Structure 1
Amino acid sequence: MSLFHLVLVAIIQGLTEFLPVSSSGHLILLPKLTGLQDQGQAIDIAVHVGTLFAVILYFWTDVKIAAAGVPRLIKGKVDTQGAWLAMCLGVATIPVIFFGGILKLTGADELLRSTALIGWTMLIFGLVLYWTDQKGGVDRSSAQWSIKDAFVMGVWQAIALIPGTSRSGATISGARALGYAREDAAKLSMLMSIPTILISGLFLGAEVMSSADAQLARDGLIAAALSFIAALLALTLMMRLLKSVSFTPYVIYRIILGVVLLGYAYS
């Protein structure tokens, strides 16, 4: 891949992974709308690793707490804040593993990559985000996260396997519908991304490991580094903006892009 192509893929992934606008939808659209070749699974894995490190760094305090609780959870003890957070994250990841496995085994994941479908999901789930953001309560914090809420948000995350839906957008919508404040909804959504990205990366990594070479490894390192920087900037900006701005700007972007894609798909 050319350096320009790597930079383009890395920036798109980094900027859109945590913003509620669908990174997978944008990456699928890139070759469709530009004529560039598909970047392939190896580069997809690399840019996801970059965004994974970005969210871990940004929420390092919470990640340390959850990691410290894993040994307690393994022993069957949920008697610390970390063990509770680790258990909630585990529960929230179950639906996406289940539905993701079904899509992969049936081959349905390849059927969900059309421009028209991405246009519809951009539009529909943009409106869902707007409705939940405007109607959702603000009285609940991330410290009140429950097993039930974790599972419900996990189902929203599983729905986001449909390209164009947006993992962060869907989970934030779910959290806002449950009454979590904007910043807390975004924080829970970002923490949920860690096990999800890690598991999907390991799964896909096993598939491409045998075909990896020195050139691909170099491209992957460049893509990972660039997506890390872009994701960290996007995440920092969004979390700061949420102190004073709603999710409406992202909704407007989604609606405009959805309408444009539908016009393109059906023209």
Structure 2
Amino acid sequence: MDNIQILSLAFIQGFTEFLPISSSAHLILTPLIFGEELQDLAFDVAVHLGTLAAVLMYFRCELAQMLGAMLGAVHRRRLEDSNARLAWMIVFATLPVLILGWPLKGLLEWLRGNPALITAVIGWTTIGFGLLLGWADWQGRRARGEYRLKGSEAILIGLFQALAIIPGVSRSGITMTIGLFMGLTREGASRFSFLLAIPTILMAGAIETLDLIQDAKPVDWSALALGAIVSYLVAYLTIQFFLGLIGRIGMWPFVVYRLLLGAVILVLI
């Protein structure tokens, strides 16, 4: 990989990971459009670690509060604290991915081996789940924040999140969509989606790292470091920008983008 490819893919990962437009689809489409091979697994791990570091840094205060409250709640055996409840909701929402992630990983690997098929899948999922996001933003009551989620609702969000292993669905997009259907505010649905990304990216990174350890290919550490740093910086700014604007602009700019992108993909193939 040359520096232009490294910078472009790292920027795309950092910018799209937390927007409801599917980072995995963009990372697959970019090399296909320019006639290049898909990036190495090691690079995928590096840029995902960069985005993970960004969300950890952005929510560092909230995470410290949730961890402290969660430990205190375990000691008292009660969930009176709202931070403790939110922490447990994230745990509940992570369980479906923990169970379904490995079987669905095989589906992703099969799709990646079929460029024409995966491109068609990205086109249709980009449009279909974009329309679902628009419907949720239009119909949602937006009456409560993420701290008022119930355990059953968190598990349901986690079940839909597992679908995001299919390129074009978008992990952040589908979790925000279900959150909006449940009556969360745009900010609440977005914040819960971003917090839920932490254990999800950690698990995905762990699985990819195991695959990487078994891979005998040489590793370009300078390329990985550059990709991780760029994806970190771009992701941090994107989170800040998104949360600052989403309450005013809504989800429709992303819905329109998804519809246009999906239509272009389907026309081109």
Aligned equivalent of 2:181: 177
1: CA distance between counterparts of 2:90 and 2:78?
13
Aligned equivalent of 2:128: 124
Aligned equivalent of 2:108: 109
Instruction: Give 5+ residue unaligned stretches, structure 2.
Output: 113-117
Letter in 1 for 2:10: A
Give the CA deviation at 1:217.
2.1
Instruction: Give 5+ residue unaligned stretches, structure 1.
Output: none
2: CA distance between counterparts of 1:250 and 1:111?
28
Give the CA deviation at 1:73.
6.7
RMSD: 1.9
Among 227, 231, 236, the alignment partner of 2:231 is 227
Relative to structure 2, which stretch is displaced further, 234-243 or 248-257?
234-243
Give the CA deviation at 1:138.
1.2
Aligned equivalent of 1:133: 137
Aligned equivalent of 1:95: 96
Give the CA deviation at 1:83.
3.3
| 1:240–1:212 Cα change, 3 Å | farther
Give TM-score, length-normalised by structure 1.
0.92
1: CA distance between counterparts of 2:23 and 2:15?
8
C-alpha contact (below 8 Å) 1:18/1:190 kept by paired residues? yes
Give the CA deviation at 1:111.
3.0
C-alpha contact (below 8 Å) 2:45/2:205 kept by paired residues? yes
| 1:143–1:160 Cα change, 3 Å | same
C-alpha contact (below 8 Å) 2:83/2:147 kept by paired residues? no
C-alpha contact (below 8 Å) 2:145/2:184 kept by paired residues? yes
C-alpha contact (below 8 Å) 2:187/2:247 kept by paired residues? yes
| 1:38–1:150 Cα change, 3 Å | same
Relative to structure 2, which stretch is displaced further, 210-219 or 126-135?
210-219
C-alpha contact (below 8 Å) 1:73/1:87 kept by paired residues? no
Letter in 2 for 1:95: P
Identity among equivalent pairs (%): 38
Letter in 2 for 1:96: V
Aligned equivalent of 1:61: 61
Equivalent residues, number: 263
Give the CA deviation at 1:41.
1.1
Relative to structure 2, which stretch is displaced further, 176-185 or 149-158?
149-158
2: CA distance between counterparts of 1:52 and 1:77?
30
Aligned equivalent of 2:115: none
Give the CA deviation at 1:210.
4.9
